[in-house]
Each structure stands twice: as structure tokens, then as C-alpha cells.
Amino acid sequence: MDIDRNRYFMFGVILFLLGLQFRLVDSFVLNESSTRALHKFAQSSKITDSNLATNILMDVGSPRKSVKPPNWVGFVLLTVGGVMSLHAMVLPPRGS
């Protein structure tokens, strides 16, 4: 699959809109199944230590994790998406 100017432009627009989303939202709340999957992944890695209270909370009730992305993520996605979209406008059309 060749990446022509239309796909390049669309990918830039998607990144730009995703960056706008990250700039407008403070935090994301994961649903129960995502939180459990994240907990299983973190428990299997050696990065975090598992304590008894966290394991009990995951077994009982409906846990929900809140994720707060850093501010720079939104700025980076806005910048990259804008540059890609503008660069797609100067690319030659498909036939030439």
C-alpha cells in the first residue's frame, strides 16, 4: 500500500484531532475490563509491587482506574498532526 497525499493528510488530521482530545480532557476513566487487564499486566511485570489491598480491590467490586495523561502529549500530537497535514498539501498528486 502506497502512502499517497490523501492518506498522509487523513493520518495528520486524525493525529491533530487526537491531540485536541488530549488537550481538552483532564483524565480518562477506564472501564472494569480494561482496569482488570491493566492490573494483570502490571502484576506480571516487575515494575510494580503488588500489595494485599490492591489485590482484594481487584477481586471484589467494580474497580475503575483513572488515567491522567501529561500535558505535553496533547501538544506533541497537535504539532505532528498539523505538520503532516500541511506537508500533505505540498506533496505531488498521485498521477504525477
Per-residue pLDDT of the chain (96 residues; tens, 9 = 90+): 577 888 999 999 999 999 999 999 999 888 888 888 887 887 765 545 556 666 565 556 666 788 899 999 999 999 999 999 999 999 888 766
Q: How many domains does the chain have?
A: 2
Residues 33 and 61 in one domain: yes
Residues 33 and 63 in one domain: yes
Residues 21 and 35 in one domain: no
Which among 92, 77, 62 is positioned nearest to 16, based on CA atoms? 77
Query: Looking at residue 22, what is its pLDDT?
Result: 93
* pTM as predicted: 0.69
Write out the residue range of the structural domain in which residue 52 sits: 29-67
Residues 7 and 34 in one domain: no
Residues 60 and 73 in one domain: no
Query: Looking at residue 77, what is its pLDDT?
Result: 96
Query: Looking at residue 87, what is its pLDDT?
Result: 93
Residues 76 and 86 in one domain: yes
Residues 49 and 61 in one domain: yes
Distance CA 50, CA 62 (A): 18
Query: Looking at residue 51, what is its pLDDT?
Result: 62
